[in-house]
Structure 1
Amino acid sequence: MEQIILLCMVSICLSAVQAQKFLFNQKWGPAGYKEWRGVNEETAMDKIIKTNELKATQIIDGAATLREGDIAVSSGRAPKICFARSCLWSKSVDGHVYIAYNLSPEYNEMDTMLIKTGMANIEQGTCVRFVPRTHQRDYIDIQPKSGCWSYLGARGGRQTVSLQIPNCVQVGVVSHEFMHTLGFVHEQSRLDRDNYVTIMWPNISRDRLRNFEKFRTDTLGLPYDYGSILHFGKYAYSQRGEATILPKDNNNIQLGQALSLSHIDRLKINRLYNCDDMDD
């Protein structure tokens, strides 16, 4: 059964990529879009950029704005407070981190399957478990609002995760947004990122330079992860289709992921939530 579901998802992803190549091109596509030559080159963040930039999504969910392209931040609230470990989801006595969710009835059966596959992506090899909400006070409300975005970490009470139909209902995009929900920012936001990548500032759209800021985040003692599902792709927010991020020493290194978490992504989750006994 799992193999059948996986084959269906791959088929859907391939169809979506072909449709996107028809709908977008470099001449008039949104900022940050590049005409991709291969399916494997387009990361989850690239898909998010195409959706969010096309919708010109800047002010969302009332008074909240987007940082780094898809992280919702409420007015007057510190965007990086998660790394003081003050907005982590509660850990149960059984060692798991249960995240209750409500799923909008606007999603059809296929949408629901893809979203749950994105959840399973997070759960595999980690202590996180997504459970349908019953009575929980703190929970995520998954809605097909405008764009793909999430708040950073647990805020308390109901918090929205936006997965617009159909652009954001893709396994890699769903997993990317849930990583933000768990409390993680983008990989190239690490304070030590300049040791590993070069930011090509002249190639970035001038009104998107802030998306490449660095922050003093907790690296959890883990190495820089070029292949993280939270890493920007090489052409993120490019103004002329030129690379905006290049790996140092080896330009052939793939940046980011399209579908799944990397091994280090899973280690990050377990270390942040003190579930190291699940490390492979």
Structure 2
Amino acid sequence: MYKKNPGGSGCTAQVHTENPRSAGGMSVFRFSALRAAVCLLSHYERIRSDNDPILTGGDIAIGSEDERNADPCTSQGCKWGKNADGKVYVPYYITNHFSDREKAIITRGLESFSSFSCIRFRPSRSSDRDWLSIESQNGCYSFVGRRGGKQVVSLARRGCLYHGTVQHELLHALGFNHEQTRSDRDNHIKVLLQNVQSGMEHNFRKIATLNQGTPYDYNSVMQYHKTAFSKNNQPTMVPIPNANVSFGNAKEMSRNDKARLNTLYKCCECQHEHVIQNKYTCTHVFNIEFGPNPPLCCFTVTEEAFSDVLTDDQRLPDQQKMQP
């Protein structure tokens, strides 16, 4: 079932009718978050004012046209800094554009990162030089990586307030691009430019991305739907070699999304004197399992811990002596 977007953009979105709501007399529907967001982005590019940032890739804000073909996160200073305790604290401020219910959706997305990574979003302080200003502007968008100073993340009240969309924009702010712009994307999807809206072709340009040793992920929260920016409701992207693979429907970050984040920010970097890096997942650190290519993770090696897991050749010399 499809409904017109109530914001007047003319967007259509798939509605999950089991939970319709009403807010101020306006029907609010839960629909495919990424599809709705992409539709709003297309609408945004038609109504953008001179005060709005230039967008590339649909929802990636850039400072000038010169940045359109660049990967902003290959430059030094893109990442948010790591604290002495091994955590990466990212200050944020949620503006008063949002209701309490809407703030709760945003907060849930912010707090979700602490359950599987060393990222900690925290409320900003007056002493913070760099922070995310989460606002309801025209559409959903974010800059890629840390830019310095006040950095806007736009989550429009009409169309962007979904858990997956919040995570998507925050991943941009942490330094990640879209899955379909990966450097190796031509091995996994075919872009059908003949179906792309005129003027939207730049959203499908490849970027020389660093993929953190993970495979292309059709289930990534950074992967757009197959009809993104379509002018005729026909696919703009087709998976290869199997065109029947479903993609672009993620409701939250995938295992590979989490693995890339932890690798980029070295969340599994050894922090203790007696540690060992091995093939095991970070279950004991972040209580998650990564995909088929997990980063090297760290464990504190003691006589009590992991004695039933580590073999002799995995133990450090001084720890080998501790074994009976």
Taking structure 1 as the reference length, the TM-score comes to 0.82
Partner SS state of residue 237, structure 1? coil
- Residue in structure 2 matched with residue 7 of structure 1 by the alignment: none
- Residue in structure 2 matched with residue 133 of structure 1 by the alignment: 124
Structure 2 residue 155 is the aligned partner of structure 1 residue 163: yes
Structure 2 residue 37 is the aligned partner of structure 1 residue 52: no
Higher RCO (CA 8 Å, separation ≥ 6 residues): 1
1:83, distance to aligned residue in structure 2 (A): 2.4
Change (3 A) 1:180 1:59: same
Greater Rg by CA: 2
- Residue in structure 2 matched with residue 102 of structure 1 by the alignment: 93
Change (3 A) 1:205 1:266: same
Q: Confirm or deny: 8 A CA contact 1:44 1:256 kept in the other structure.
A: no
Partner SS state of residue 190, structure 2? strand
1:12-43 Cα deviation digits (max 9, x unpaired)? xxxxxx7xx32259xx945xx6x64879xx75
Identity %: 32
1:116 pairs with 100, 107, 118, which one?
Answer: 107
Structure 2 residue 64 is the aligned partner of structure 1 residue 75: yes
Change (3 A) 1:89 1:150: same
Q: Mind listing any 5+ residue stretches in structure 2 that lack a counterpart?
A: 18-30, 270-281, 283-287, 290-324
1:100-148 Cα deviation digits (max 9, x unpaired)? 0011122111001100111133333111111011131111011111111
- Residue in structure 2 matched with residue 266 of structure 1 by the alignment: 258
Q: Give the aligned residue type for 1:271.
A: T
1:217 pairs with 197, 209, 212, which one?
Answer: 209
- State the superposition RMSD in angstroms: 2.5
1:85, distance to aligned residue in structure 2 (A): 4.8
Q: Confirm or deny: 8 A CA contact 2:217 2:256 kept in the other structure.
A: yes
1:63, distance to aligned residue in structure 2 (A): 6.3
Partner SS state of residue 136, structure 1? coil
Q: Mind listing any 5+ residue stretches in structure 1 that lack a counterpart?
A: 1-17
Size of the aligned set, in residue pairs, is 254
2:51 pairs with 43, 59, 62, which one?
Answer: 62
Distance in structure 1 (CA, Å) of the matches to 2:261 and 2:50 = 27
2:3 pairs with 9, 19, 22, which one?
Answer: 22
1:75, distance to aligned residue in structure 2 (A): 1.8
Distance in structure 1 (CA, Å) of the matches to 2:212 and 2:169 = 20
Partner SS state of residue 207, structure 1? coil
* Structure number having the greater strand percentage: 2
Distance in structure 2 (CA, Å) of the matches to 1:83 and 1:48 = 26
- Residue in structure 1 matched with residue 308 of structure 2 by the alignment: none
- Residue in structure 1 matched with residue 316 of structure 2 by the alignment: none
Q: Give the aligned residue type for 1:197.
A: I
1:60, distance to aligned residue in structure 2 (A): 6.0
